[in-house]
Amino acid sequence: MATKILIVEDEEAFVDALTVSLQREGFTIDVARDGAEALDMFDTSKPDLVLLDVMLPVMSGVDVCRQIRAKSKVPIIMVTARSAEVDTVVGLEVGADDYISKPYRMRELVARMRSLLRRAQYGPDTVSAATPVTNEAIPISVGDVSVDVERHEVEIRGQSVKLPLREFELLTLLLENAGRVLTRDVLIERVWGYDYVGDTKTLDVHIKRLRNKVEDIPSEPRRIVTIRGLGYKYEAPKAS
C-alpha cells in the first residue's frame, strides 16, 4: 500500500507544488488547510507521516502537533517560515520529529521524510532518533566538487570544506542544476527566501566567495559562470 502523507498547509502555492512533487515520489496525499481540519483528517486518513505548517488558520501547527502527539507516534515534520519559528518549534518540544524551513528543496524534504518513515517502520526499539543516519546521504557531485545535503558536507578536489549556510545552499542549488542557467531571481528566492529585501549585491558577494573556493583561478571562473543579463550557471569541468 502506498505511503500516505497528510499535508497541513494553508498556502495554495505550497499545497500544489508539494502535492505534485510528492505524488511523483509515489506518496498518496491528503491535504488539510487549517489546524482543526488537520485533526479531523488525521483520524479519518490515518497518515504514515504528517507535514505540518506552523502558521495555520484556526489552530497553530504547534497545537496541532501536541494534540496529534498525545494520541499517536506518527512521524511529524514541522514546516517553518522564519527562523523565529524554528526556535519556537525546537524550544517548546512539541513532539515533532524534524523541522524544515521555507523555502526548502524538495529533494531535502523527501530525504528527511524517507528517513523518518524508515525509522517508524523499524520501530523505536531498533533505531532510535539518536542513531546516526547512514546510507541515506545522496551526495551531488559535479566534477571534483560534491555536496552531501544530509550531512551538510562539501568536498572540493578531495578536500572537505566548511561552508557557511547560504554559500552551502547556493552551491547545492547550482550543482543540482548543473548545465542549466539559474536566474538571479530564482537564486535569491531559493536561497534567501520570498521576503528577501537585502541588496541584490548579496548574491554576487556569495558567488564571489564560492568562486574563491571552487575555481582554480577565481578571477577566471570556469565552473560558476556568469550568464550576462540572466544569472549564473554551474558548468561541469570538461575532461582534458
CB of 56 to Ca ion, least distance (A): 6
Q: Select the residue whose beta carbon is closest to Ca ion and give its number.
A: 55
> By CB under 5 A, is residue 235 in contact with Ca ion?
no
Cβ closest to Ca ion, residue 10 vs residue 150: 10
Tell me how long the chain is: 240
The CA distance from 29 to 41, in Å, is 12
Cβ closest to Ca ion, residue 42 vs residue 234: 42
Cβ closest to Ca ion, residue 10 vs residue 215: 10
- Of 6-14, 34-42, 82-90, 130-138, which part binds Ca ion (CB under 5 A)? 6-14
The CA distance from 136 to 133, in Å, is 7
CB of 141 to Ca ion, least distance (A): 35
What part of residues 46-85 is at the interface with Ca ion (CB under 5 A)? Answer: 53, 55
Cβ closest to Ca ion, residue 55 vs residue 236: 55
Q: What residue has cell string 507516534? A: 73
CB of 223 to Ca ion, least distance (A): 37
- Of 8-16, 82-90, 105-113, 136-144, which part binds Ca ion (CB under 5 A)? 8-16
CA 9 to chain centre: 16
The CA distance from 176 to 174, in Å, is 6
Cβ closest to Ca ion, residue 10 vs residue 176: 10
> By CB under 5 A, is residue 167 in contact with Ca ion?
no
How many angstroms separate the Cα of 166 from the Cα of each of 22, 43, 109, 126, 171? 26, 39, 18, 36, 8
CA torsion, points 119, 120, 126, 129, in degrees to nearest 10? 60
Cβ closest to Ca ion, residue 30 vs residue 53: 53
Cβ closest to Ca ion, residue 57 vs residue 123: 57
Non-local (6+) Cβ contacts of 133 within 8 A are 115, 150
Non-local (6+) Cβ contacts of 7 within 8 A are 15, 18, 19, 22, 29, 30, 31, 32, 51
How do 224-227 and 231-234 pair as beta strands?
antiparallel
The grid coordinates listed for 82 are 522564519
Binder of Ca ion out of 3, 4, 10, 177 (CB under 5 A): 10
- Of 4-12, 41-49, 193-201, 232-240, which part binds Ca ion (CB under 5 A)? 4-12
CB of 64 to Ca ion, least distance (A): 12
CB of 138 to Ca ion, least distance (A): 29
Task: Summarize as ranges the residues that interact with Ca ion (CB under 5 A).
Answer: 10, 53, 55
